[in-house]
């Protein structure tokens, strides 16, 4: 990461003191740091402290005569390889989500063509408030990356989510973001010419499925839907007509995509079959393999006889069903979420499911993939295995769609 340029926006929160250590940690790794200090941030740390640690001028004013003579706020936003907001206050996130630009920090966020990584920090009630959660969902949909917040003690004396991630956690997220392409193309550039999937229909599954045990309990997994939703968004950006069949998730529906919400594996299969025919099918959902044979109509209660026995039956195999269907799409892509022998299991799945490509990844707890913002994938085909570095999930999606567009073109489908 040596030589990478970070633009650090320091918001107005008590966690701003951690930003001083963050500057030091980034510089230890050979990155340069240019700091922007908000009015609120200056109540907690001084420009002199930031300048001393970063070795660069600290920027505070939107209308600086010497800087604005050369459109300084535009240059600041364009010179960085990554913009980091730490602490990212509720106010800064709200401004970014609404596209406001009434100070230097918010103007930079609106004028940038560079990926943004936010480290939220605020009171737990502010973080959990529907307005903040709505703003975060909007920003995630726009491509903003997040690290934290963590659970912990607050300066206000409360305990819960809202504590800013520690500097080394933020550094790790910075390195993961910088491993991919952090440039954001202009929307007009994307629409100037037909995308590589223009005129094609793509069906994507995403998220988990919930298989009811009784009216209040269900079998599920930790899938967040971030990767599948990013793939649907990337396919739409490439010009495709996209149907996204999503299990229960908290991420927002991608713009320009027809989203069908389902709950169970059987619901998902029905929705997928209703969306066919298609040119490409991408099974990114983490479908529950089993369900309770007969879900109870009333809540299951504890009893003297001990834990109940749940009779499980196998769910339909959506990937195999589509891959073997009479209306089989020309390109069928599956995902293999594994915790061991990732490549071997993916190769076996490729043959067993009759699909054209498997995207394999390690979802063991140590990987941080389930629910995280980055992914390390292996593309497995009958011709071999291609391993990609750890990348933001948006970057994985864009690369995957570009690869699938090339495969479709090669096949003449």
Backbone φ, ψ for residue 318 (5° rounding) = -65, -45
Beta bridge partners of 162: none
* Of 169, 134, 133, residue with least CA distance to 148: 169
Q: Which residues contact 163 (CB under 8 A, 6 or more apart)?
A: 15, 121, 148, 149, 150, 151, 152, 153, 154
Residues 84-97: b if buried by 16+ CB within 10 A, e if exposed: bbbbbbbbbbbbbb
Q: Which of 385, 344, 392, 329 is nearest to 176 (CA)?
A: 392
263, 209 Cβ separation under 8 angstroms: yes
- How far is Cα 281 from Cα 373, in angstroms, rounded to an integer? 23
Backbone angles phi, psi at 173, to 5 degrees: -65, -35
Report the distance separating Cα 119 and Cα 9, nearest Å: 10
Structure tokens at 118: 């936010």
Task: For residues 284 and 322, give the distance between their C-alpha atoms in angstroms, rounded to a whole number.
Answer: 13
DSSP tag of 208: B
Contacts of 183 (CB under 8 A, 6+ apart): 113, 114, 115
DSSP state letter for 183: B
Identify the active-site residue in 71, 128, 131, 156.
Answer: 156
β-strand pairing of 384-387 with 377-381: antiparallel
Residue 156 annotated as catalytic: yes
- Please list the active-site residues: 156
């Amino acid at each position: 990461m040596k030589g990478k340029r970070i633009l650090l926006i320091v918001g107005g929160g008590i966690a701003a003191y951690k930003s001083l250590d963050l500057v030091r940690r980034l510089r230890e790794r050979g990155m340069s740091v240019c700091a922007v200090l908000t009015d609120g941030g200056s109540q907690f740390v001084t420009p002199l402290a930031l300048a001393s640690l970063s070795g660069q001028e600290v920027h505070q004013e939107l209308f600086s005569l010497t800087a604005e003579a050369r459109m300084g706020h535009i240059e600041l936003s364009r010179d960085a390889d990554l913009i980091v907001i730490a602490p990212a206050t509720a106010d800064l996130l709200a401004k970014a989500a609404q596209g406001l630009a009434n100070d230097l920090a918010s103007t930079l966020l609106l004028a940038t063509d560079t990926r943004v990584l936010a480290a939220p920090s605020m009171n737990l009630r502010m973080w959990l408030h529907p307005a903040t959660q709505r703003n975060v969902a909007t920003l995630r949909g726009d491509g903003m990356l997040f690290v934290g917040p963590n659970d912990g003690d607050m300066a206000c004396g409360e305990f819960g989510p809202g504590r800013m991630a520690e500097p080394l956690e933020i550094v790790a997220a910075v390195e993961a973001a910088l491993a991919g392409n952090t440039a954001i193309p202009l929307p007009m550039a994307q629409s100037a010419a037909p995308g590589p999937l223009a005129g094609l229909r793509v069906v994507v599954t995403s998220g988990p499925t919930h298989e009811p045990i009784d009216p209040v309990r269900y079998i599920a997994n930790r899938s967040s839907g971030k990767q599948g939703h990013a793939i649907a968004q990337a396919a739409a950006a490439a010009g495709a007509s996209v149907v996204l069949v999503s299990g229960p998730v908290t991420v927002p529906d991608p713009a320009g995509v027809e989203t069908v919400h389902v709950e169970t594996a059987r619901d998902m299969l029905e929705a997928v079959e209703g969306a066919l025919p298609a040119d490409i099918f991408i099974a990114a959902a983490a479908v529950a393999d089993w369900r309770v044979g007969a879900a109870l109509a009333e809540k299951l209660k504890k009893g003297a006889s001990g834990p109940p026995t749940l009779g499980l039956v196998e769910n339909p195999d959506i990937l195999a069903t589509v891959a073997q269907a009479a209306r089989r799409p020309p390109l069928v892509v599956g995902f293999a979420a594994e915790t061991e022998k990732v490549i071997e299991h993916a190769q076996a799945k490729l043959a067993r499911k009759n699909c054209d490509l498997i995207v394999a990844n390690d979802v063991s707890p140590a990987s941080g993939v389930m629910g995280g913002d980055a992914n390390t994938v292996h593309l497995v085909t009958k011709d071999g295995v291609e391993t990609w570095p750890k990348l933001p999930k948006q970057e994985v999606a864009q690369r995957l769609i570009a690869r699938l567009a090339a495969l479709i073109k090669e096949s003449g489908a």
